[in-house]
Chain A
Amino acid sequence: MSWFLFKRIVRAIFTVLAVTFIIFSVIRIIPGDPVRMIVTGTAPESAVEELRKELGLDKPIPTQFLGFLKKAVRGDLGESFFRSKSGAVGMSVGGSSVERIKIVTKGVKGLKQLEEEAHKRAPVTNLIIERIPLTFTLMILTLLLGLLISSISTFLSFISRRWASGIESLTVFIQSIPNFWLAIIALLIFSAKLKLFPGAGYRGFKYLILPSLVLSFILIAPLFKIMHQSMISILNEQFMIAAEARGLSRMKLYGHVLKHFLSSIITFLGLQLGPLFGSTIIVEYLFSLPGVGLLFIYAVLQRDYPLVVGGVMFFSAVFIIANFLVDILHGWLDPRAREWA
């Protein structure tokens, strides 16, 4: 098991590094100059060049990457080109939740420090950390809604064969709808016209219901299929027939079914993490939810290089860790998987 873990960890680190280097280089090569976006139109060339040097963008890309790595191993992903720390702390407690924690833990000294540093660029780690709770809440809510709707669909499909084919057709139809179109239609009908849900933005938990419903649509059809097929195949297994013949109680039977059932669901959900992340970014943008996905899109549009690279590292790390946990869980649920690994 420990050799299994070690191999996984080493592979994960190399993957994150490779992805980071590719994105680090690509974002600097494609057209778009963040320096011009910062200083804008009437700035003299000298101001442009001065800022370029200050941001380290005059150096070759490999040199820049090495400099970035040296800081990254210490947990420092650099500073955003465009976002400053907290704004104005001089007159009130400022900005990010991370900054506020600093004030609470360091007291007056923390407040003074923030006041002196208010104009400095915000650390990428802080910007990402403060948005993680919203993105993760959205994703978890999506998963729960997807599981709930698929479970209900699966249950209904076992009531009647006609219902089963109807539900299957419906879920396939739902899956074929592009989620960006669905998001716009959902906002127009349920928010703007019917006012059943709040509109774009985030001012509380209820703002996550419509976006997570829209996001869950990418999970419903495949989840329903897997649940439906898994149930049928498990119930037809010889050990189930034998267990029933031995007179095991319903609860014990369900226990056996559940273990096999969960194994396939968890594997599937692990595979869906990548597409789910991608869709979360789009949905956050469409609904203007201030999560990590929206931050990442702004960073790309503004060419905020440190924030783009930090965002990529975050997504790839979460994706790798999640798959890693899925492997562990799968191995625990199904001993055969441990042997194959």
Chain B
Amino acid sequence: MGKGRFARRENIEKLISLSKEVMMKYTKLIGLIMIVGMAVSSLAFAESPAEPTGTFTFASAEPLTGNWDPTSHTILAQINIENQIFDKLYFAPSGVDNPGKLIPGLAVSWKQIDPRTMEYKLRKGVKFHDGTRFDAKDVKATLEFYSDPKKPGFGWIPGKLNVKIIDDYTAWVKTEKPLGSLLYSLGLVVILSDEDIAAGRVKGRPNGTGPWKFVRQEKDTTILEANMDYWAGPVRFKEFHWVYVPMTTARLFGLLAGEYDAIERVESEHVPIIEKDPDAAVQSAASVENKWLIFRCHKPPFDDWRVRRAISHAIDREGIVHILGRAGTAVEAHIPRAKFGYAPTPNNIEYNPKKALELLAEAGYKDIRDFPTLEYITSTGFYPKTKEYAEYIQATLGAIGINVNLKVFEVSPWLESLYNPEAADMIDTGWCSGTPEPDQIIRTIFHSSTQRMTFVSDPVIDKTLDKEQATTDLEERERILQKETLPVLMERVPALPLFTSVMIWGYRKELKNFRGWPANFFYLKDVEPPYGENDVYREK
């Protein structure tokens, strides 16, 4: 380079030129480095998903069975905890606005191949808690295990199932006859590992694909921990403590004191107490459970449907709903609103004592004094207000001259009486199934092949139930249920639907997104995509 003033200018020009040359030459490289640097730094500083923290404690009103085989029972509390540990093919929120909605779970899609075959495409990349892969073999083993007619849980499944494996993630579920009820019924089935079924480990070993893993049982508390490999992402809590607390006041005070994060089966008179508390709140949902007044249809006087209808007209169901307060809502069909196929029946039974007496006269009881004294059993200690509304039923029947001998039993003797055909003329109970499938109520209770509680054997009822069950087209099936089946049931009334239970939960306000489902269970993990947005978490 030169020296002096001109040399300096020359040097500067050379420097500028050199710089431009470097820039031109290395721009692409510099640009690439900048891009890579930005990408790396964004990855490094990106918000990592929140680690599960803390414990969620739930107080249950019902005990667990101590047996992890889901086909061995029909206990709601056990179903609820199984839903935490296991997954299903799909989830059914059973909301009153869209009862037939299904959310993909272990099945990502499904379709009817023919009237006896349903195809399921399964989710890939899912593992059981013991690390084994979930695939079509597990679906085959589970469905065939469930549909054994000797099992207590067989009543939930519409018939014997055979599953054909097409490939690792495709299964065909075949039925012996066309079954329109298959789709929603399978919403109750939790998927087990085929290895556990084959090894006979199902009873003692809850090995699922669900968001929670079983850790241990400590006296009356069942302890679960978060499954960090859950296919929809882990839950926001580290541990889930499930505590059996049968006393309603103990559950209530535990919630108010902050011992429990959520409680179930809140009594309606406790609702204002919770609502007054600054840290607790109440949530309720019209459930999939109807309360029934069961008539023993196999023996007099209820072997005559006119007598059943007459007694139903003499019962003030509106008054019963009033007694229940927030724990019940009126029902106008033999299935609750949260079930597929619900519609108010045009021949819904209204409170009409005069009509009751006319029907009784038609049935041969012109003088009401000739009508026999009715034996009526109700329970105490589980459902809300049973004694109160049973006494009201006794009073309203007494008002038209019918004597009712009311017996109030605690749960165990009541349950024994429920299935004993010789125990009482009337008995009340709830019946609930955690799917939109109406057959899990109406077929289970009213078809002559099941002979459950009502012991009814009526060809008219059987015919309509068989017809709707065999219809695989959903729209057509819905039409048959609404126009034919439900009206027939309301006319023959083998059991009177008293009301639909409203499930009431209490929960701590610091819990965000807590939502009880109408089937009386809940998920802490949001199972609807996009996953994670509505997970339950504790706001600090």
Report Cα–Cα, A303/B410, bound state, in Å.
11
Chain B residues with Cβ below 8 Å from A271 are: none
Instruction: Kindly report which residue of chain B lies nearest to residue A290, judged by CB atoms.
Output: B219
B299 within 8 A of A: no
Q: Mark B199-219, 1 if CB is under 8 A from A, else 0.
A: 001011111000001111111
Q: Is the CB of A82 within 8 A of B254?
A: no
Could you show 29 A-B contacts with beta carbons less than 8 Å apart?
A32-B413, A34-B412, A37-B412, A38-B73, A40-B73, A40-B74, A41-B152, A41-B453, A42-B444, A82-B63, A82-B65, A84-B203, A88-B68, A91-B130, A91-B207, A96-B217, A117-B204, A119-B68, A184-B253, A191-B256, A195-B258, A200-B251, A200-B253, A203-B259, A286-B249, A286-B250, A288-B245, A290-B220, A303-B412
Q: A40-B73, A94-B217 are in contact. List 17 more A-B contacts (CB 8 A).
A: A31-B409, A32-B413, A34-B412, A36-B419, A40-B75, A43-B151, A44-B149, A44-B152, A87-B66, A88-B204, A93-B216, A131-B219, A184-B253, A191-B256, A195-B258, A199-B256, A301-B412
A244 within 8 A of B: no
Q: Is the CB of B259 within 8 A of A33?
A: no
Report Cα–Cα, A188/B273, bound state, in Å.
11
A238 within 8 A of B: no
Q: Is the CB of A82 within 8 A of B66?
A: yes
Residue pairs across A and B with CB atoms within 8 Å: the count is 187
Chain A residues with Cβ below 8 Å from B260 are: 199, 201
Q: Is the CB of A33 within 8 A of B258?
A: no
B67 within 8 A of A: yes
Shortest C-beta distance, A310 to chain B (Å), equals: 16
Chain B residues with Cβ below 8 Å from A120 are: 204
Report Cα–Cα, A201/B241, bound state, in Å.
12
Instruction: Kindly report which residue of chain A lies nearest to residue B218, judged by CB atoms.
Output: A95
Report Cα–Cα, A88/B151, bound state, in Å.
22
Shortest C-beta distance, A49 to chain B (Å), equals: 11
B246 within 8 A of A: yes
Chain A residues with Cβ below 8 Å from B36 are: none
A118-B152 contact in complex given A40-B75, A84-B66, A192-B253, C-beta closer than 8 Å: no
Q: Is the CB of B216 within 8 A of A200?
A: no
Q: Is the CB of A188 within 8 A of B222?
A: no
Q: Mark out the residues of chain A between 71 and 88 whose CB falls within 8 Å of any chain B CB in the assembled complex.
A: 80, 82-88
Instruction: Kindly report which residue of chain A lies nearest to residue B149, judged by CB atoms.
Output: A44
Q: Mark A11-55, 1 if CB is under 8 A from B, else 0.
A: 000000000000000000011111011111111101100000000
Report Cα–Cα, A199/B250, bound state, in Å.
8
B257 within 8 A of A: yes
Report Cα–Cα, A82/B63, bound state, in Å.
10
Q: Is the CB of B73 within 8 A of A118?
A: no
B416 within 8 A of A: yes
A139 within 8 A of B: no
Please choose the segment from B153-161, B281-289, B471-479, B513-521 that sits at the chain A interface, where 4 or more of its residues have CB less than 8 A away: B153-161
B150 within 8 A of A: yes
Shortest C-beta distance, A42 to chain B (Å), equals: 3
A90-B67 contact in complex given A42-B156, A131-B219, A288-B247, C-beta closer than 8 Å: no
Chain B residues with Cβ below 8 Å from A118 are: 203-205
Q: Is the CB of B74 within 8 A of A41?
A: yes
Query: Which of A47, A93, A122, A200 sits near B259, CB closer than 8 Å?
Result: A200
Report Cα–Cα, A301/B453, bound state, in Å.
22
Shortest C-beta distance, A46 to chain B (Å), equals: 6
Chain B residues with Cβ below 8 Å from A287 are: 250
Shortest C-beta distance, A86 to chain B (Å), equals: 6
Report Cα–Cα, A85/B419, bound state, in Å.
29
Q: Is the CB of A201 within 8 A of B258?
A: no
Q: Mark B377-408, 1 if CB is under 8 A from A, else 0.
A: 00001000000000000000000000000000
Query: Which of A40, A85, A301 sits near B152, CB closer than 8 Å?
Result: A40
Report Cα–Cα, A143/B259, bound state, in Å.
27
Q: Chain B interface residue count: which class?
A: 35 or more
Q: Is the CB of B150 within 8 A of A192?
A: no
Report Cα–Cα, A44/B381, bound state, in Å.
26
Chain A residues with Cβ below 8 Å from B257 are: 187, 191-192, 195, 198-200
Q: Is the CB of A184 within 8 A of B249?
A: yes
Q: Mark A189-217, 1 if CB is under 8 A from B, else 0.
A: 00111010011110100000000000000
Query: Which of A41, A290, A301, A303 sits near B246, CB closer than 8 Å?
Result: A301
Q: Mark out the residues of chain B between 35 and 74 whose CB falls within 8 Å of any chain A CB in the assembled complex.
A: 63, 65-68, 72-74
Q: Is the CB of A200 within 8 A of B152?
A: no
B129 within 8 A of A: yes
Chain A residues with Cβ below 8 Å from B63 are: 82, 298, 302
Instruction: Kindly report which residue of chain A lies nearest to residue B259, judged by CB atoms.
Output: A199
Nearest 10 A/B pairs, CB to CB? A42-B155, A119-B204, A199-B257, A32-B412, A118-B204, A31-B413, A119-B203, A43-B152, A192-B256, A290-B219
Q: Is the CB of A91 within 8 A of B253?
A: no
Q: Mark out the residues of chain A between 87 and 123 whose CB falls within 8 Å of any chain B CB in the assembled complex.
A: 87-96, 117-122
Query: Which of A94, A122, A288 sits near B254, CB closer than 8 Å?
Result: A288
Report Cα–Cα, A31/B414, bound state, in Å.
8
Query: Which of A32, A85, A201 sits near B243, CB closer than 8 Å?
Result: A201
Chain B residues with Cβ below 8 Å from A187 are: 249-250, 253, 257
Report Cα–Cα, A200/B253, bound state, in Å.
7
Report Cα–Cα, A163/B75, bound state, in Å.
58
Report Cα–Cα, A41/B155, bound state, in Å.
9
Chain A residues with Cβ below 8 Å from B418 are: 41
Q: Is the CB of A188 within 8 A of B253?
A: yes
B417 within 8 A of A: yes
Q: Is the CB of A301 within 8 A of B411?
A: yes
B509 within 8 A of A: no
Q: Is the CB of B259 within 8 A of A95?
A: no
Shortest C-beta distance, B433 to chain A (Å), equals: 10
Q: Is the CB of B417 within 8 A of A31?
A: yes
Chain A residues with Cβ below 8 Å from B217 are: 86-87, 94-96
